[in-house]
Chains A and B, each alone.
Chain A
Amino acid sequence: MDNKILEIKNLKALVSETGEEILSGIDLEIGDGETHVIMGPNGGGKSTLVNVIAGRDSYEVSSGSIKFKSKNLLNMNIDERSREGIFLAFQYPSEIPGVRPWQFMKAAVDAKRKANGDPELSVREFSKIYDDNLKKININSDLMKRSLNEGFSGGEKKRNEVFQMMMLEPNLALLDETDSGLDVDALKAVGDAVNNLRDSKRSFLIVTHYQRLLDHIKPDFVHILINGKIAESGNSDLVKKIENDGYESFA
């Protein structure tokens, strides 16, 4: 049982448009069922890292490799990566006018099932799962009658990201500051949702600035990302060190 779901080797990535290098040689391995946390100062490259994993094409990988379930991830499109089991909860989710959350999720779940050779869910089967998950994460179903994310508060958007994660049941969930801007109840709900999904087949990479999320989710590993490089890796004790000394001691 020493399988790695994600293997990143010497990853360098630049902004496609300008050629500016943001990630300058990242090595990171995540094992099946593990939960990793990434912390680091603003602008260190945390979001860039998770977006490069998700396949955002405004970044260009200039060297290194990423393997997901032993497959070369860099050959896959954004949507293929998702259907393979990668999920990114966005730091800033998009508002999509005219697109209903239900319709959007149905299409997403069906696309994934189709790729796996499973039949589409009937409206009824889907609705049941949909409603159950809404309840679990405590999203008001009236909210979901609007256009996706349109007029959602910051916290509501974050909950909705977690809701989508629950619907898509990824093998690797990347959470980019999902805990920012959450009230205490929402924070607990997000923590519970992650903990409920944790199992031997699912791994998490969680970007956060705050220790308080880690009161709910106990990570296996903590990494500190500074200037596009992992400056240090360790266990939860690292978080306390950051709280006490700040990032300067790692630079």
Chain B
Amino acid sequence: MSMLNLTYEVDGDDFTRAGEASSAVKKRLRSLGIPPEAIRKVAIALYEGEINMVIHANGGTIDVAVDPDKITMTLKDTGKGIADIKKAMQEGYSTAPDEVRNLGFGAGMGLPNMKKYSDHMEIDSTVGVGTTVYMEVYL
């Protein structure tokens, strides 16, 4: 068991609420006295992941486990899945429609940012079934 487990349901229909889970996690980690640098890495990686769940996958579930040596984030959705993960990981690659770009996202930088700010990241995805993203930030 981890020191602390947090679970959030992410509403896939409400773009204005996207990021609420990440914001709540950030607040909890701060109250635990986790170093600010680590919190920022978790917050940004999680936020990009949460946005992706909303704009690409109709929402899902976020689990965050806090351990003495690391923070583990699991983002699970039952969306359309990612056909070519390698391609999706490239900076600038995006299938987001223009309306998402007008909202400030869809520049194809989300997955690269998640990779950049996490110390370890894995993506499991099956087209038509869904996507699970695991990320770890070491403390």
A and B: interacting chains: no
Chain A interfacial positions (CB closer than 8 Å to B): none
Chain B interfacial positions (CB closer than 8 Å to A): none
